[in-house]
Every structure is written in structure tokens, then in C-alpha cells.
Amino acid sequence: MEKLWGGRFDGQNSNLLEVFNASIGFDKELWEYDILGSKVHAKMLFGIGVLDEKEYIAIFDGLEKISDRIKKNEFEFRIYDEDIHMAIESALTQLIGDTAKKLHTARSRNDQIVFDFKMYVLEHNQIIRQKILDLSDILLDIAKEHTETIMPGMTHLQHAQPVNFGFHMVAWCVNFKRDYQRFCDSYERNNYFPLGVGAMAGTPYGNNREEMARSLGFIAPTLNAMDTVSQRDFALDLLYDISMLMMHISRIAEELVLWSSYEFRFITLSDMYSTGSSIMPQKKNPDVPELLRGKSGRVFGNLIALLTVMKGLPLAYNKDTQEDKEGVFDSVNTAIISLDILKEVLSTMSIHTENMANMANIGHLTATDLADFLVKEKNIPFREAHHITGKIVAFAEKKGLDITELNEDEISDIASFEMKGIKNILNLRTSMNARDSLGGTASIRTKEQISYLEKWLDGCKNG
């Protein structure tokens, strides 16, 4: 059987080349976009007079039949056809004869490839965005229930200052807000129509690219034919966006692993999303968060792989870019299932507020409040106040107590000041609510942050 491009060749390709060269094994995932692009292209060819009405209808109906066959799993994806573009064109030729051969007028596989792949990227950008919003909804639901729930805030994984659990959930949610905006920005940046530029220099047929772009909701056609078939920025943007998203998910997963341990006991993961040990019957392992941590490395690798493919390529199209798709498909699938399962893990986990409160009583979380009291009430420079507070913490450590358990006289003796009212200042809830600056952990500020994010979510869903 003669290749669609085989006119210049006398000999047959080797079987090894057939296997090495073909992308049909993975780019068949793009079949819907390829058929859509062919329909739009055929309509344009009819509009500029390359096809007559009968030919246009035959091509359109033939593409519809191929689409139905693929949906019913009745279509054979043959390695001989190399890629999805030639597979569909070959099938169309078998269906309607020589009329099908007119369809490739004024286009190239080079711009077809970019169109199909860009359509996939843009559509899945939207799918992932929606799942980010769904996950953010769950986080805010949890946050609203826990604006008064005290837990130890940590730096260097050491007890630092008291915060509320809702505040921590809001911090997670803000990460996802940035992720969502990143996906929005890259969608807008890449929403330009590539079809109709030909192999690399345009076409002599007067393609109506503006009308094709409008019909599919693109902002406009791409500006330069050579750049259009050469670049894969749209794929790299998606891989970067997913990498940032998965980095945030990985950090959350790490905290879930820690919090579900006996050392913390802040949460218990549902049995639905936990596994056991093959040898230790008492174990309940946080495998989902651990896998979520690991998945980040997978998507980082896909990003670096495509950057490496692209870094040395001259303009315009090069076959190297056939390596652009599998990593993107993998990262998209990884992001989607990760967002789905993280949402379920969060919505089904048990939150142990009493254990959080008990842990907040360890580690002198209100020591900064003591230093602030010395600054504000005793007019002491902060560095001196810091030194005095450190001595009080050391005294408490020797007694095996938290500074909140020291009495007023003990604190006054070490500070060399009368510290009337200091016990109330050192109260965990007082400390938390004292941090009422914009963005702070005070319950009233946490509620403001939740309200802001809820309005943002509503705007995203309704906008």
C-alpha cells in the first residue's frame, strides 16, 4: 500500500522504521480534535471555492461516519498510517474516494499536529481548572468549621505560634487560587488558532483563518506560520502549570502524612483512602498522600523532558516534537486523578481538635506575646525583650513547664518588671486573636479570608 506522502520514494520503508516513526499508538487520543479540525478546514475550503457543495457534504458526512466508528470501537488504528491525521485521511479516502484527497489542500500535517494538540491542551486546562475550584470548595467548607480551632503553627517543623485550623486550610486554598490563575493566564496566552498556516510558510490559497478561528472560539489566528508549527509553548505552559499544582499538592500531602501519625494525631484518614501492611496487622498507612507526594516527581520529569526536547531545535517543524504528547497526556491524567482523590481524602478525614489543642500547649507558643508585652507595656527595645523572654523560656524548660504554666511572680522575677496581666496575654486564644493584622490568624481575619475566597470562587464559577 502506498503512503500518502510516498510519491517521491521508490523503495519501501523497513518494518523497524514503521515502528520507530509511528505515533498512532498515542496520538490516537487526539482523534476528536483531528476530525473537528478537518470539518472546519473543509468548510473553509468550500468557502474559498476549492470544494464544491457536493464534495464538502461528502467529506463532512464521511468524517461523521469515521467519528461514529471510533466511538463504537470499530475503527482500526494501524501502525502503517503513522499518525492520527493520516489514519483519518486514509479512512476517509476508503469511504468517499478521491474527493477525500482534496481535504489536505492548503494545510499540512505540521499545522494539523499543532491544532489537535493545542485543542487537547486548552480543553484539559479548563477541566483541571474546574477540579481546582471543586477542591477549593472542600477546603473552605473545612475552614469555616474551624476558625476557632487552635493548633500549633510551625516553622522549621517546630512549634512557633498558635493559629487556627481554618487559617491553615485557607493557606492551602490560596495556593490553589494562584494555580487556578496560572492556568487561566496560560489559556489566554495560548488561545490562538494555528490551522491553515501550512507546513511553515503559509499557503497560496487565501485561507480564511480568521473565520475558522472565530468559529471555534479562539481569540485570533496565530501571527507567524513558522513560529506556529515550531513552538510547543502551549504544552510547556500546561506542564509547568501542572508541576506547580502538583508541588502544592505534594506539600499538602506531606502535612497529611505527618498529621495522621501517632506523633501528631491531628487527623485520621478514612479507611476508604488508607491501606494496610502485608506483615504488620496494626498498620493503617497513608498511601494516598504518599503517592500524591511521589506523583509530583513524575510531572516534574515530564516538564524537564519536553524542555530538553525543545531546547536545541531549529525552526521550523522537526520530528523531535513528536515526543511532546505522551508526557503531557501523562501529566494531565496525573493531575486530574490527584485533584479528585485529594478532594475525597479531605472530605472524608476525621479532624481531632482536642489533640490539636493539647499540642498547642507544648513548645511555648506564646513566647512572642511575652516579648511584645515587654515592648508595648515596658517600652523595652525588642532585642532586649527577646533576650528576657528567652531566659523565661529557659526557666520554664528547667521546670518541665510551658511558659503558660508559670505564675505571674515567676515571670516578674526573671523579667525584673512587674508583669501584671501577663497570664492573660500568654493565653493561647488571646495570642491567636491578637494577630489581627490583615492576613493574620485571628478568627475574625480568618473569616474575612474565607469570605474573600468564597466570593472569588463564585466569580470563577459564574464568570
Q: What is the pLDDT of residues 238-257, one digit of tens each?
A: 999 999 999 999 999 999 99
Mean pLDDT of 58-74: 96
Whole-angstrom distance, CA of residue 438 vs CA of residue 422 = 25
Average pLDDT value for residue range 120-141: 98
362-462 CATH pick, 1.10.40.30, 1.20.120.160, 1.10.3720.10, 1.10.10.10: 1.10.40.30
Catalytic residue, candidates 156, 278, 416, 437: 156
Q: Which residues of 314-330 are buried (b: 16+ CB within 10 A; e: fewer)?
A: eebbeeebbebbbbbbb
Distance CA 370, CA 429 (A): 14
Check whether 4 has a pLDDT greater than 90: no
Q: Is the pLDDT confidence value at 93 over 80?
A: yes
| 364 labelled catalytic | no
d(CA 160, CA 359): 11
> Residues 104, 168, 248, 277: which is the catalytic one?
277
- Print burial letters for 287-302: b (CB count within 10 Å at least 16), e (below 16): ebbeebbebbeebbeb
Q: Which position has the higher pLDDT, 13 or 229?
A: 229
pLDDT of 278 = 79
- Stretch 173-191: mean pLDDT: 98
186 is catalytic: no
pLDDT value of residue 135: 98
Q: Name the residue among 376, 385, 381 with its Cα closest to residue 415.
A: 385
Q: What is the mean pLDDT of the segment spanning 296-318? A: 95
pLDDT of residue 60: 97
Domain ranges of the chain: 6-105, 110-199+219-359, 362-462
Say how many Å lie between the first and final Cα of the chain, rounded: 52
For the 6-105 domain, the top CATH level (class) is mainly alpha
At residue 21, the pLDDT reads: 72
Say which residue, 7 or 448, is predicted with more confidence.
448
The rounded distance, in Å, linking the Cα atoms of 356 and 346 is: 17
Whether 52 has a pLDDT exceeding 80, the answer reads yes
pLDDT of residue 82: 84
Q: Domain 110-199+219-359, CATH 3.40.50.670 — does that match? A: no
Whether the Cβ atoms of residue 99 and residue 307 lie closer than 8 Å to each other: no
Q: Per-residue pLDDT averaged across 272-281, rounded?
A: 82
Tell me if 6-105 shares its fold with 362-462: no
